[in-house]
Every structure is written in structure tokens, then in C-alpha cells.
Structure 1
Amino acid sequence: MGKVLITGGNKGLGHELVRVFYENNYEVFTVVRTVEAAEELKYEFKQKCHPIVVDLRFDDSIEKIKSVLAKITTEIDIVINNAGVPGREYEIENVLAEEIEELLNIHCLGVVRTVQGTIDFLRNSTNPRIINISSRLGSLSKMSLGEFGSRNFSYSYRIAKAAQNMLTICLNNELKSQGICVNAIHPGKLKTTSGSSDADLNPNEAAERIFNWIETLKISDSGSFTQPFVGDWPW
């Protein structure tokens, strides 16, 4: 039985990822922020699903993740850094430093904390993989071409996802030699409450694609920024 840890597993794409891994006989650990969310997941997925209630905005989440995992397992095969929130302001006159700091903390530092909390468990796996759920909006190349200029995407989200992509590159540079595969993915234009105006993909469909793609990963695939079964994105 494989073991996966998914952050932000109580709604949207994260919830669908929990579902698809659970249905494919994985033992699922999922990080959520509230006891209520944890109870709902335990009710829905009654066996081999272990919600971990921590707030990835704070450093104490690292030891809390380690503590919960250590009581149940010695290894994690896959870490999916999915937790995230959208930004709001898209005009420079209205951009707040507080909003940018919040999104950087969640999308970038939250990933750092999750990896720090799971790295020893990943090293015990025979096929360890770290998947960062990025976005097409994190592509500096695409942004520089003005491809999304008319869609009013927030400064904070684009900046945070670009930072997360650099983190993915840094993790790959360090961990590939240790046999840990690290990748960033654009999951598709998802039809969610915070989805873009050109959204065309349901989260359940995206989750199925992501699962099937992750199952094919080899260490030689490490270091890519891709949309599963569609193609690579430029950094």
C-alpha cells in the first residue's frame, strides 16, 4: 500500500486528490487547518485516511506533522503540496504588502514547512516524489509575453506561484541526487469558486489525471514544470 500526504485536502482539487488516492488503495495523510475539516474527512473516508490538523503558516506545523506521521508510519511515498488561497488585487495602486506576504507564506513557506516535516519519511520510501501544485500564472516566460494580461489575475498569486516554482527548482537541485523526484505541475484551468474566467476542467477530472501521471514518474523525470498528459510549461 502506497502512502501519500496531501495538503489542503478538505476542498476543491485537494479533496478530489484525497478521494482518488484513497480509492486506489493508498493510505492518505492530509493536512487541514480545522478540527471540523478533519472530522468531515474521517467521516467520508473511514479507514486509511489520517487528517493532520495544523496551520502551515506557522513553523510549529513542522514538528506537528512529524509527530503525527511517526505514530503511524516510517515512510511517505508522495507529498503533494496543494494548499493555497487566491489573491485579490490586480492593480498596483491597490496591492497590499499584507496580501503578498500572506500568499508567499502559504504557497512558498508552507511548502518549505511541509517538506521539512516529511523529508525523513520520504527518504525511507523506495520511490519518493514531491509534487508542488503550481499554476500557469507562475511562469515568468508566459507572464513576460503578456499572455494573461487582460484577465485581472492578482499580483500576490502570480508572485507567490513564481516563488514556489523557484523553490521547486531548488528542491530538485538538492534532492534529485538523493533519489527524490521533485516536480511542479499546472493542474489545468479548474472550475472552482476561485477559478479563472476561462476555466474548463472539473477538479475531479484534474485529480484523476494527476494521479495517473504521478504513477508514471521516475527519478529521471524530476525537475519539470508540466501539465499532466498535456505538456511542459516554461519556467
Structure 2
Amino acid sequence: MTTTLITGANRSLGLETARRLIDAGHTVYAGMRDLASAAEVQKLGARPVQLDVTDQRSVDAALAQLPDLDVLVNNAGILGKSFGLDDLDAGAVQEVFDTNVLGIVRVTQAAVPLLRRSANPVIVNVASGVGFARSLITPGSDEHFVKAVPYASSKAAVIAMTVQYAKNLPEFRVNASDPGYTSTDFNRHSGHQTVTEGTDATVMLARLGPDGPTGQFFDRAGHIEY
């Protein structure tokens, strides 16, 4: 049985990832800041665990509850409150990075000792095409219209961090996924993809075997060249 931890698993992409991996036979621990929002994951058969990625004590307590771990899906993320330059300051960037970047570091560092005991350790970092410079500068792309500095910068950091973790953990499969422009609370459900389509890459990467790719970036159409 494959044991999987998903952060931010109580709604949207995280909830759909939990559903699909449970259907694939995984035992899923669903991390969330507030266990009051656990009803949906419990309906799926996931095991809710209180996990605030911005709080190291919460992270450590959550990982201490897991008997073992094979797959970590770093899904938790925030959009932030700054969408241009008039409302931008260092605090706005710091707030987004604390969840989207440092949150991954906190959880991953706490999870690595458990993952090292797995015969097939896998880490999936949910990034975004908004963090990929080529997409940001390509007219007509979904990402081209985005001007927000904090979110795009944080997801660029996630992509780079994925590469570096993969180099440091050659026995792991460590990859990043791009959900694409998916209809979620993040974008007031303006995205043109369903949450199922938006989790295609994440679910595929979470199910990789030991011979799968590592240090790479994927969307639902396949491998994205750096």
C-alpha cells in the first residue's frame, strides 16, 4: 500500500488529487490548516491531519502522526493580495513565499526521513506555468496576462527548488506539476479546465515508479522543456 501526504488537501486541486489517488489505491493523509474543514476528505476515505505549512511545530506534529510515507504532494499554496505594483510591498511577497516556498521546505525537510525508508520515494511540488518565464512572455498564453509579482515569483522558486531537491535526492523521484488554468476558488472559477484536468500531471507524477523522470516539470500534456 502506498502512503501519501497531500498538503492543502481539503479543497479544489488538493481535494481532487486526494480523490484520485485514493481511487488508485493510495492511503491518503490529507493535510489542512483547520480540521473543521475535514468533512469532504473524510467522505473520500482520506485521513485528515492538521497541518499548517507556515508553522514548523504544526508540520512536525503532522509528520509525527504518519507511520510511513511513500509520496509527498506539496500542494498547499496561496495567491496573495498583490496583483500589480501599486499594492506591492515586501510584506506581500513575504506572505506568499512563506506558504508557497518556505512551506514546501518545512514539509519536505520533515518528510525526508520518512521517505528515505520507502522503496519508491516520490515528491511532487505543485508549481504553475505562471512561474515559468517562457509562458509569462508568450502572447496568447494563459499566463501572459498575469502581472502579479509575488505569486509568479514564488512558483518560479518552486520550479528551481524542485530541480535542486532532485539533484540532492537522486534515489527519489522529485518533480513539479503545472495544473494549468483550472477553475478553482483561486481565480473565482474563471479557469477553462476542470479540477480533474488540473490534477492530471500531479496524479501522474505521484504514481511514478523508480525508473520515472526526476527534476522535471510537467503539465497535463506532458513534459515541459526548461
Q: Specify the alignment match of 2:111 in structure 1.
A: 118
Segments ≥4 residues shifted beyond 4 Å: 144-150
- Determine if the alignment matches structure 1 residue 57 to structure 2 residue 54: yes
Pick aligned residue for 1:192 from 148, 163, 184: 184
- Determine if the alignment matches structure 1 residue 158 to structure 2 residue 152: yes
RMSD after superposition: 2.3
Q: CA deviation at 1:206?
A: 3.0
- Determine if the alignment matches structure 1 residue 135 to structure 2 residue 128: yes
- Determine if the alignment matches structure 1 residue 203 to structure 2 residue 203: no
Percent of aligned pairs sharing the same letter: 25
Pick aligned residue for 2:165 from 171, 175, 197: 171
Q: CA deviation at 1:61?
A: 2.7
Aligned letter for 1:170? Q
Q: Is the 8 A contact 1:8 1:83 kept in 2?
A: yes
Q: What's the secondary structure of 1:126's corresponding residue?
A: coil
Q: CA deviation at 1:199?
A: 2.5
| C-alpha distance after superposition, 1:175-201 (max 9, x if no partner) | 01xx11100111222111223897221
Q: Is the 8 A contact 2:136 2:146 kept in 1?
A: no
Q: Is the 8 A contact 2:5 2:69 kept in 1?
A: yes
Q: Specify the alignment match of 2:63 in structure 1.
A: 66
After superposition, residues 87-126 of structure 1 pair within 5 angstroms as: 87-126=80-119
Structure number having the greater helix percentage: 1
Q: Which runs of 5+ in 1 are unaligned?
A: none
Q: Specify the alignment match of 2:223 in structure 1.
A: 232
Stretch of structure 1 that moved more, 216-225 or 160-169: 216-225
Change beyond 3 A, Cα 1:140–1:36: same
Q: CA deviation at 1:16?
A: 0.5
Aligned letter for 1:169? V
Change beyond 3 A, Cα 1:138–1:209: closer
| C-alpha distance after superposition, 1:69-102 (max 9, x if no partner) | 1xxx2x3111111111113433223213222111
Q: Is the 8 A contact 1:190 1:196 kept in 2?
A: no
Q: CA deviation at 1:208?
A: 4.8
Aligned letter for 1:45? L
Q: TM-score, normalised by structure 1?
A: 0.86
* Alpha-carbon distance between aligned partners in 2 of 1:204 and 1:188, rounded to the nearest angstrom: 11
Q: CA deviation at 1:233?
A: 2.6
Q: Is the 8 A contact 2:30 2:41 kept in 1?
A: no
Change beyond 3 A, Cα 1:119–1:155: same
Q: TM-score, normalised by structure 2?
A: 0.89
* Alpha-carbon distance between aligned partners in 2 of 1:152 and 1:89, rounded to the nearest angstrom: 11
Aligned letter for 1:55? D
